[in-house]
Structure 1
Amino acid sequence: MQKIESLNNITHENLAVNPEFSAELGDNAVSTVTFITEFSEVQKEYPILCRKDPETGEYQAVVLFGFQKDENLFLVEADPSSQKYVGWRAEYIPAAVARGPFSIGVQGDADGSSEAPKPVVHIDMAHPKASCDRGRALFLENGGHSPYLNYITNVLDTINEGMHLTKHMFNTLNKYELIEPVNLDIEFIDKSKLTINQFETINTEKLSQLSGEALAELNKSGFLQAAYYMATSMSNIRKLIDWKNRNLSASGNAN
């Protein structure tokens, strides 16, 4: 059960958070959501697809980490001496994962006079990465934010700013019918087969045939580049297949 608290330098003065990544720490998800505000980094390492949220019916961008439940091929044995993010083999981690136990909440003035709620950082004290005796400190001795908390704040800003913009992006892409279902038929080295058909991707043929007016609209909003990021990121599927095959070979499951 979650235990959400508003983060502050008094209650959480001595709180430290484990910044590493592992299955034991809850990072063994096969996918997560991503946002247009990080597409330029995400597309370098992960395949970006999209699907409709079953609860809201709205499109969301998704990155794949593996091919089956609880399989995250980016998780590796922790080596602090050589890894930018300990336990994770990539130069960038999607914000929805990087945030760990933190989230953005809203808080108004105590007298109710504030016209707009203020975003505040929340922390789930029941999260396995929340700890008081080891990890990265959140606050300096003078009460200021530590470098790690500044990093987390930037991660949360990426999510907060990206949620609305990503929704607007999908509305525009749908306006020009640029999203289509994708079917991926994969055979691994052990002869096992997998079909991925629950996602959608960019129709590059339609994208290339857009009118000048449509291209101008997409380019001005930044959605044209985002569409190409999504399309080109699909090449990262091959990397995941290679990693999966190596794991199968190492475990002796390959023929």
Structure 2
Amino acid sequence: MTAQMLIYETVVPVSNGRHGKCSIEASKTYAFARHVNSVPLMAVEFPQAAPEYAIVFAANGDEIVPVVILGARKDENLYVQDDAAWASNYIPAFVRRYPFVFSTSDDGKTFTLCVDEAFPGLNYQGKGQALFTDDGKHTPYVDNVLKFLQEYRAQFVRTQAFCRKLKALDLLEPMQAQFSMNTGEKMSLGGFLAVDRKKLKALSGETLAELARTDELELIYLHLQSMRNFTEVKNRLVLIQGGKTESEAAPATPAAEAAPAVETPAPVKASGGKKR
């Protein structure tokens, strides 16, 4: 399994036969996300995420997905502290849903609740929230998990539609963030896409009006404004290297070769389905 399953390691369907005596002990540790430099973001999350993260887009096969940048180097998440706490106010839903996830049938019509059995909070000692009642039914805790994942799935579909519109309008261009460290070291992060402002301004008034009517224009500007947060990524990197932060921005520029890439999700199979 690659870094996508991103944060998942051993995903299996939740079943009474396997997990009838199982409980989930909640934890505020995010060590499971320590080695990812980006995670997917739903469009509905843009307003909460934009003040704290750089929001960009990444190719996932033929699809485009929004992601938040968490680190400048491969396998490094600068938003997970040494004590495994999350170092920002807003935590992306992709992270918050862990250790649960839906696996999707090949026809996309059936969704199965799965859990990552590598999650340290999964136990058979009755610690935390039970998954099943004594008569083999889902507990209210699992019902709430299902509601969360169902809403996540609905937002995923809406986000797909938004990204397809950006692609159809040819607004996205490969970009690269440049970092100049206090030591003089030059770093860059590539493998992502961003809305081209010139192309956006060149759209017809009718198209812009339609984007405004559907609130998608607001999402575009939240994305563009959030790019300033590459400075925050750089400052976090400087701090772990023992240096002093600077206020200068890390500009997004046209993509070049040989840059560390954003880690993006790829479909994974779990009991005959694709993880979503």
Same fold (TM over 0.5): yes
In structure 2, the gaps of 5 or more residues are 1-8, 245-276
Report which stretch shifted further, 238-247 or 134-143: 134-143
Distance verdict in 2 for CA 1:134–1:50, change over 3 Å: farther
Residue-by-residue CA offset, 1:176-232 (whole Å, 9 max, x unaligned): 221122222211122221122321111223323432210122123332121112111
How far residue 234 of structure 1 moved from its aligned partner, in angstroms, is 0.7
Matching residue of 1:65: 70
**TM score, norm. by length of structure 1:** 0.76
How far residue 93 of structure 1 moved from its aligned partner, in angstroms, is 1.2
Kindly tell me the number of residue pairs found equivalent between the two proteins. 231
**Which secondary structure does the structure 2 equivalent of 1:76 belong to?**
coil
Distance verdict in 2 for CA 1:12–1:233, change over 3 Å: farther
Residue 240 of structure 1 aligns with an amino acid whose one-letter code is: V
**Structure number with higher relative contact order (C-alpha < 8 Å, ≥ 6 residues apart):** 2
**Which secondary structure does the structure 1 equivalent of 2:140 belong to?**
coil
- Checking the alignment, whether the CA contact within 8 Å between 1:138 and 1:145 is kept in structure 2 is no
Matching residue of 1:92: 90
**In structure 1, what is the Cα distance between the partners aligned to 2:19 and 2:143?**
15
How far residue 57 of structure 1 moved from its aligned partner, in angstroms, is 2.4
Matching residue of 1:145: 140
Report which stretch shifted further, 67-76 or 8-17: 8-17
How far residue 18 of structure 1 moved from its aligned partner, in angstroms, is 3.9
Q: Tell whether 2:102 aligns with 1:104.
A: yes
**In structure 2, what is the Cα distance between the partners aligned to 1:69 and 1:88?**
18
Q: Give the counterpart of 1:46 among 45, 53, 74.
A: 53
Matching residue of 1:16: 24
**In structure 1, what is the Cα distance between the partners aligned to 2:45 and 2:65?**
14
Matching residue of 1:110: none
Q: Tell whether 2:118 aligns with 1:126.
A: yes
Identity, in percent, stands at 23
**In structure 2, what is the Cα distance between the partners aligned to 1:133 and 1:193?**
50
**In structure 2, what is the Cα distance between the partners aligned to 1:65 and 1:50?**
13
Q: Tell whether 2:7 aligns with 1:2.
A: no
**In structure 2, what is the Cα distance between the partners aligned to 1:197 and 1:235?**
16
**In structure 1, what is the Cα distance between the partners aligned to 2:62 and 2:18?**
41
Matching residue of 1:176: 169
Residue-by-residue CA offset, 1:15-36 (whole Å, 9 max, x unaligned): 023432343x353311111121
Matching residue of 2:34: 27
Residue-by-residue CA offset, 1:88-146 (whole Å, 9 max, x unaligned): 01222112222212012469xxxxxxxx9564532122334433448642559896424
Q: What is the root-mean-square deviation of aligned Cα atoms in Å?
A: 3.1
Residue-by-residue CA offset, 1:54-80 (whole Å, 9 max, x unaligned): xx22211121111112211111244xx
**TM score, norm. by length of structure 2:** 0.71
- Checking the alignment, whether the CA contact within 8 Å between 2:182 and 2:238 is kept in structure 1 is yes
**Which secondary structure does the structure 2 equivalent of 1:249 belong to?**
coil
Distance verdict in 2 for CA 1:175–1:11, change over 3 Å: closer
- Checking the alignment, whether the CA contact within 8 Å between 2:79 and 2:86 is kept in structure 1 is yes
